[in-house]
C-alpha cells in the first residue's frame, strides 16, 4: 500500500489494525497527502508511526492516540501523541541519568 498508494493511504490502515489487535483507538488527521520521490523517506515516516504506536500500546497505559500529518510544500510535520504515562523530563535537562547508589 505504501509504495503504490502513498503515505496517507498507508497510514489510514493503522487505526483499524491497532483497534483490532490492541484495543487502541487511533485518530488520524492528514491535511495533506505528500508525494515523496524518496522511497526511503516514505518508509522512514511510515515505520516511525508504526513504532510510536506500538510504544503507546506497550508503555502509555491508554486506549487512544492521535496521528497528525500537516505541512506545506516547504516542510512536513508528523505528530504522534497520547495522554498516557510519560517519562521524567528532568532527565532530558540533566544530560545524564542519575541513579541512587546503594551502600555496601
Q: Is 103 contained in some domain?
A: no
> Does position 32 have pLDDT exceeding 80, yes or no?
no
| CATH number of the domain that residue 26 is part of | 3.30.565.10
Domain presence at residue 100: no
Q: Looking at residue 83, what is its pLDDT? A: 94
Q: How many domains does the chain have?
A: 1
Residue 41 pLDDT greater than 60, yes or no: yes
Give the separation between CA 26 and CA 79, rounded to whole angstroms.
12
Q: Is residue 19 part of a domain?
A: yes
pTM: 0.78
Residues 43-72: tens digit of each pLDDT: 999 999 999 999 999 999 999 999 999 877
Asked, for residue 29, whether it belongs to a domain, the answer is yes
In terms of residue numbers, what domain contains 23?
2-94
**Alpha helix (H) ranges present in 1-104?**
2-5, 7-11, 14-22, 39-55, 90-94
For residues 91 and 97, give the distance between their C-alpha atoms in angstroms, rounded to a whole number: 6
Higher-pLDDT residue of 23, 3: 23
Q: Tell me if 22 sits within 8 A of 56, measured CB to CB.
A: no
| CA–CA dist 80, 60 (Å, integer) | 12
Q: 70 lies in a domain?
A: yes
pLDDT of residue 52: 95
Amino acid at each position: 500500500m505504501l509504495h503504490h498508494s502513498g503515505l496517507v493511504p498507508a497510514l489510514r490502515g493503522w487505526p483499524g489494525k491497532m483497534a483490532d489487535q490492541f484495543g487502541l483507538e487511533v485518530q488520524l488527521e492528514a491535511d495533506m497527502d505528500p508525494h515523496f520521490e524518496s522511497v526511503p523517506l516514505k518508509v522512514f515516516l511510515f515505520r516511525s508511526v508504526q513504532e510510536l504506536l506500538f510504544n503507546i500500546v506497550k508503555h502509555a497505559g491508554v486506549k487512544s492516540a492521535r496521528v497528525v500529518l500537516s505541512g506545506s510544500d516547504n516542510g512536513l510535520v508528523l505528530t504522534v501523541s497520547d495522554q498516557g504515562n510519560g517519562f521524567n523530563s528532568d532527565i532530558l535537562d540533566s544530560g545524564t541519568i542519575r541513579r541512587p547508589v546503594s551502600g555496601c
